[in-house]
A and B are shown apart, each in its own frame.
Chain A
Amino acid sequence: MKHDNLIEGKWHSQGSAAQVDASLHVIDGEDYRIETDMGGRYSGALKELQVSDRLGNVERKIMLEDGSVFATRDNDAIDSAFKKHRKINGFIHALENNMGLIVVAVVVTMVTGFSFFKWGVPWASEKIAHALPQKTNDLIALDSLKYLDKFMFTKSKLDPKRQEQIRTHFREKLVPYGTKDVSYNLHFRNWSMLGVIDIPNAFALPSGDLIMTDKFVELAKNQDEIDSVLFHEMGHVERRHGLEMLIEGTFVTVAVMLVIGDVSWIADMGVGLGAALISSSYSRKHESEADLFAFKKMLKAGIDPIAFSNIMNRLESFGEEIEEKRKQAKGKKKVVVEKKGSSPNDMSDFMSSHPSTAKRVEMAKKYSACFKKGLATCDIVLP
């Protein structure tokens, strides 16, 4: 006796919205017969039919040769009828229904996501950044100084003789410790916030242009302190941090775009926050690297790394002082409810997105201890 397996469903003629009840008979697991309530009849071998992939429990559609469609929600019956004929790509559905795999997927996703952002992106970015010629660095810094001059800085008020003295010292004593393909240039600028508070800071452009603000030179007590910060900035250039940040940023945006796909405003908020946290973690890493570069070169150049710790501490207390003054100035005015989340740290970007000063000072002290023992290298286990 023939084995007749019946699957209930609906039938549409080609491109028509009208639907009638229909049934699909599976005969001996090899042939099919579709009967519609309108009296339509189709028959043939199962292996000739095209069936849409299984997805959760959504309706399955079987396209017939005249363009009409048989649709059914009896997913299990369809799966078992077509199993033998491999007409269905059930692989993904099988993955989705494997509880063990789901757990593995959650874990793998979390671990991969974490490692990707924590190690993968910085590693790949570093490799790419260093594989590119120095020209790339000049290119990304192109016009940057002009741009900064226009919107941030004013002309330095520092005595030109003092400028030249620092510049000569930099060229003769520090630049030789850098690689040859970078052409270093030291610039002096004044930077003030709201036209009142002069800000002490130092910057490095990927091209090798280093910038020091007047206030910074004023705060530095001696040449060693200036050197320590210049070495730090050279570290950024040598390690190609500008280029790295650029590549890291591209990686993060593309990766986030791939996983999130359709971004709703809710996801947008979370993603924005996450991306900001990630990029500030990269930036902290770069600062530590630049510090390390500075300490190592200072040992070689015979400068006590304690100078870095001294200038860092002074910069921090200067920042606190300014903040205190600002608070007092504001306190005198009427108490106005301020925008929430205003951070006390819009002070200087030498401080923000940097590791805590305490940690950096501690590091400087360790290197200083090596220096005092007369060592030219220092083996410190990194935290």
Chain B
Amino acid sequence: MQALRFEGTGKEYFKIWIVNILLIIVTLGFYYPWAKVRTKRYFYANTLLQDRNFEYHATGKQLFWGFLIAVALFAVYNILQSVFPLGGALLAIVFVAALPWIIWRSMKFNMLMTSFSNVRFGFAGDLKQSYMNFFAYPLVLYIGLALITVVAFFLLKLVQGMTVLSLIIVGIGVLATLAYILYALSFLKKKNTEYLINGTRYGQGKFSTEIELKQLMKIALKAILLGVLLYIAINALVMLFVGLLVLATGGMESLQIAKPDAANILGSLMSLSLVGRIFAGVLGVLFYIAIIYLGTLAVAYYSGRNRNYIYGNTKLDEKITFASTLRTKPYAWIMMTNFLAVIFTIGLAYPWAKVRMTRYMLEHTEVNTEAGFDEYVSEKQKTESSLGDQIGDAFNVDVGIGF
């Protein structure tokens, strides 16, 4: 197994990023496609395995028309949604119906535009399957959820008055709903991931994966339990914070905090002495950071474990295997410190944060390179338009598996 390497630096990307923004401003936005190409190329080409790198081949010109159409659609969508509050729901339905197409086109375009060691990727998944995975399954599962809720309410109505029985029904109903949601989300993740990975090609090579529903559900369940524990921990921290404040300021009376709610705390702080306020401020920031860290832990656990599991079960042609070795604590730490850095620099630390996250992710991605890549050759593929990709960009559709 050999880990990927990332050779970009925050300093270098900062310069690329700020010039991109400057040119976007100067051209009133029209430079966006070229800026996107430069950014993608920078991150792809700096990603190395052995001494071979990735490359992004799309050109600004190629993205431009797709970009114009996508921006127009996006503006129209926004305006229409505000103009007709009820018609907005209809538009959302149109968007949901178009989503599988957007994802499919976007995958085709992006894979074709990506190469590793001079060989292009490709995407062979078909549109019908995309509609199955991103439209039909979610719809059926959603109807199932609605049915469960209706049945639960119906039963509750039937036994009205009998408090113990209705409590039991409510309890079972809540548990059943949670279990169902857990199952539904894991099922969707399994199907979507299999569709995206099994459709991906590297030259003549095929990626393949088989994902066990049980494993995904296990991860999701653990993440939920972790989330609950963290929620309790966060609330305990808030209580502790209030307690310390009360101690530091000489008793409950001077603070008049009836309950530890943010508005109350803020209000009471105003009545403190200067020293008290500084103490409370420093303490508040420390606790706030602790709370964000605990919050990111659950996110990091869920996304990290899923990635580890999926990569570990993915192969290229039965001989090249992959591994992801993310660990929850460092992953969450990077997420949190990145977030704080970006916030406190009003965005200026974004390039540094992005490079740092990319490097961490790539350096924890491993490939078994024993079989080598030499026999892979690019397949002939039809050129694709960038429309799907650009619409996906505009509407913030998260497509693909990423590295």
B is bound to A: yes
Tell me whether A55 and B342 are in contact (CB under 8 A). no
Tell me whether B82 and A261 are in contact (CB under 8 A). no
Tell me whether B25 and A108 are in contact (CB under 8 A). yes
Chain A residues lying within 8 Å of B46, measured Cβ to Cβ, are 56, 58
Contact with B along A240-261 (1 / 0, CB 8 A): 0000001001100111011101
The reply on A156 being an interface residue by CB < 8 A is no
Chain A nearest Cβ from B293, distance in angstroms: 14
Q: Which residue of A97, A105, A340 contacts B262 across the interface (Cβ within 8 Å)?
A: A340
Tell me whether A338 and B18 are in contact (CB under 8 A). no
Tell me whether B21 and A109 are in contact (CB under 8 A). yes
Tell me whether B35 and A261 are in contact (CB under 8 A). yes
Tell me whether A331 and B38 are in contact (CB under 8 A). no
Q: Pick from A71, A96, A258, A267 the residue with the most CB of B within 10 Å.
A: A258
The reply on B126 being an interface residue by CB < 8 A is no
CA distance A121 to B261 in the complex (A): 36
Tell me whether B71 and A254 are in contact (CB under 8 A). yes
Tell me whether A16 and B377 are in contact (CB under 8 A). yes
Chain A residues lying within 8 Å of B35, measured Cβ to Cβ, are 261
Q: Pick from A105, A270, A330 the residue with the most CB of B within 10 Å.
A: A105
The reply on A19 being an interface residue by CB < 8 A is yes
The reply on A147 being an interface residue by CB < 8 A is yes
Chain B nearest Cβ from A379, distance in angstroms: 37
CA distance A142 to B117 in the complex (A): 58
Chain A residues lying within 8 Å of B8, measured Cβ to Cβ, are 56
Tell me whether A258 and B29 are in contact (CB under 8 A). yes
8 Å CB interface, B79-130 against A: 79, 82-86, 116-120
Total A-B pairs, Cβ < 8 A = 168
The reply on B165 being an interface residue by CB < 8 A is no
Chain B residues lying within 8 Å of A327, measured Cβ to Cβ, are 258
CA distance A101 to B22 in the complex (A): 10
Chain B residues lying within 8 Å of A139, measured Cβ to Cβ, are 83
A108-B22, A143-B86 known; A340+B41 contact, CB < 8 A: no
The reply on A80 being an interface residue by CB < 8 A is no
Chain A residues lying within 8 Å of B79, measured Cβ to Cβ, are 246, 250
Contact with A along B196-229 (1 / 0, CB 8 A): 0000000100000000000000000000000000
The reply on B350 being an interface residue by CB < 8 A is yes
Q: Which residue of B32, B239, B259, B335 contacts A258 across the interface (Cβ within 8 Å)?
A: B32
Segment from B139-147, B151-159, B268-276, B368-376 that makes contact with A: B368-376
Chain A nearest Cβ from B15, distance in angstroms: 4
Chain A nearest Cβ from B403, distance in angstroms: 14
Chain A nearest Cβ from B104, distance in angstroms: 19
Chain A nearest Cβ from B253, distance in angstroms: 15
The reply on B171 being an interface residue by CB < 8 A is no
A96-B15, A96-B16, A337-B238 known; A246+B82 contact, CB < 8 A: yes
CA distance A14 to B348 in the complex (A): 41
Chain B residues lying within 8 Å of A12, measured Cβ to Cβ, are 117-118
The reply on B343 being an interface residue by CB < 8 A is yes
Q: Which residue of A106, A263, A337 contacts B239 across the interface (Cβ within 8 Å)?
A: A337
8 Å CB interface, B253-270 against A: 258-263
Chain B residues lying within 8 Å of A10, measured Cβ to Cβ, are 51
Number of interface residues of B (CB under 8 A): 73
Chain A nearest Cβ from B86, distance in angstroms: 7
Chain B nearest Cβ from A20, distance in angstroms: 10
The reply on B182 being an interface residue by CB < 8 A is no
Tell me whether A17 and B86 are in contact (CB under 8 A). no
| CB closest residue in chain B, given A68 | B118
Chain A residues lying within 8 Å of B350, measured Cβ to Cβ, are 267
Chain B residues lying within 8 Å of A143, measured Cβ to Cβ, are 84-86
The reply on A6 being an interface residue by CB < 8 A is no
CA distance A61 to B57 in the complex (A): 11
Tell me whether B24 and A147 are in contact (CB under 8 A). no
Tell me whether B75 and A254 are in contact (CB under 8 A). yes
Contact with B along A339-359 (1 / 0, CB 8 A): 011111000000000000000
The reply on B384 being an interface residue by CB < 8 A is no
Tell me whether B42 and A261 are in contact (CB under 8 A). no
The reply on B194 being an interface residue by CB < 8 A is no
8 Å CB interface, B15-36 against A: 15-16, 18-19, 21-25, 29, 32, 35-36
Chain A nearest Cβ from B213, distance in angstroms: 25
CA distance A14 to B18 in the complex (A): 36
Q: Which residue of A16, A144, A263 contacts B118 across the interface (Cβ within 8 Å)?
A: A16
Q: Which residue of A108, A250, A330 contacts B78 across the interface (Cβ within 8 Å)?
A: A250
Chain A nearest Cβ from B353, distance in angstroms: 7
Q: Pick from B84, B120, B261, B262 the residue with the most CB of A within 10 Å.
A: B261
The reply on B39 being an interface residue by CB < 8 A is yes
CA distance A147 to B79 in the complex (A): 18
CA distance A263 to B354 in the complex (A): 11
Chain A residues lying within 8 Å of B339, measured Cβ to Cβ, are 266, 269-270
The reply on B176 being an interface residue by CB < 8 A is no
8 Å CB interface, B41-97 against A: 41-42, 45-46, 51-53, 55, 71, 74-75, 78-79, 82-86
8 Å CB interface, A78-118 against B: 92, 95-97, 101-102, 105-106, 108-109, 112
Contact with B along A136-161 (1 / 0, CB 8 A): 00011011100100000000000000
CA distance A294 to B315 in the complex (A): 70
Tell me whether A17 and B25 are in contact (CB under 8 A). no
The reply on A321 being an interface residue by CB < 8 A is no
Tell me whether B12 and A266 are in contact (CB under 8 A). no
The reply on B393 being an interface residue by CB < 8 A is yes
Apart from A95-B19, A261-B32: 5 A-B pairs, beta carbons within 8 A: A58-B42, A59-B55, A266-B339, A269-B339, A335-B259
**A–B pairs, 9, beta carbons within 8 Å:** A16-B378, A19-B374, A144-B85, A250-B78, A262-B393, A266-B335, A266-B339, A270-B342, A336-B259
What are the 10 tightest A-B residue pairs by CB atom distance, in nearest-first order?
A15-B378, A58-B45, A18-B374, A12-B118, A105-B22, A17-B376, A17-B373, A17-B117, A96-B15, A17-B119
User: Which residues from chain A sit less than 8 Å from chain B, CB to CB?
Assistant: 10, 12, 14-19, 55-59, 61, 69, 71, 92, 95-97, 101-102, 105-106, 108-109, 112, 139-140, 142-144, 147, 246, 249-250, 253-255, 257-259, 261-267, 269-270, 327, 330-331, 335-338, 340-344
